[in-house]
C-alpha cells in the first residue's frame, strides 16, 4: 500500500509558468523526498527535506514541509519542456536495525506545453 497522496494527479501548463504539486501523508516521517521519472525510465532523486526543516531550495525547485498537516509541496519555477515527467513524493519511515525505507505516492503527471 502507498502512503502518499499526491495532488493533482495530472497537471498541464505552458512553458515558463510555475508548477506546484502537493503531497499528503499519514504517519510520522524522518524525511520526505521528491523524485522525477521520465517516461519509461528510472526514478531520479530531486530533493530531500528533513522532518525538522520547513523549506528547501535547489535551483528552480522549492520544497516545503508542514509536519503538523502532514503535507509537502514541490514548486518548479519557470518550467521548461524538459520538466515534463511524473513526480513522486516519498516518505522515509524508520524501520528496524536503524534503517529507513521509502513509501512512494502515486505521483503527479506534469506536462509542459511549448
Binding residues (CB under 8 A) for another protein: these are 1-2, 4, 30, 33, 35, 40-45, 48, 88, 90, 92, 95-107
Q: Least distance (Å) from another protein to the CB of residue 7? A: 14
Q: Least distance (Å) from another protein to the CB of residue 16? A: 28
- What does DSSP assign to residue 98? T
Judged by beta carbon, residue 43 or residue 74, the one nearer another protein is: 43
Judged by beta carbon, residue 68 or residue 95, the one nearer another protein is: 95
Residue 44 phi, psi (nearest 5): -120, 130
Q: Least distance (Å) from another protein to the CB of residue 99? A: 4
Dump the DSSP string for 27-93. Answer: S--SEEEEEEE-TTS-EEEEEEEETT-SEEEETTEEEEEETTTTEEEEEE-S--GGG-EEEEEEEEE
Judged by beta carbon, residue 18 or residue 58, the one nearer another protein is: 58
CA distance 21 to 109: 10
For the four alpha carbons of 107, 45, 1 and 23, in that order, the dihedral sign comes to: negative
Q: Least distance (Å) from another protein to the CB of residue 81? A: 22
Judged by beta carbon, residue 4 or residue 19, the one nearer another protein is: 4
Amino acid at each position: 500500500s502507498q502512503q502518499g497522496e499526491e495532488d493533482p494527479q495530472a497537471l498541464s501548463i505552458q512553458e515558463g509558468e510555475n508548477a506546484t504539486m502537493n503531497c499528503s501523508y499519514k504517519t510520522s516521517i524522518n524525511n520526505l523526498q521528491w523524485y522525477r521519472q521520465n517516461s519509461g525510465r528510472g526514478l531520479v532523486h530531486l530533493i530531500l527535506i528533513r522532518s525538522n526543516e520547513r523549506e528547501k531550495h535547489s535551483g528552480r525547485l522549492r520544497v516545503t514541509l508542514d509536519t503538523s498537516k502532514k503535507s509537502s509541496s514541490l514548486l518548479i519555477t519557470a518550467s521548461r519542456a524538459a520538466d515534463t515527467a511524473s513526480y513522486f513524493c516519498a516518505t522515509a519511515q524508520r524501520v528496524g536495525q536503524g534503517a529507513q525505507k521509502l513509501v512512494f505516492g502515486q505521483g503527479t503527471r506534469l506536462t509542459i506545453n511549448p
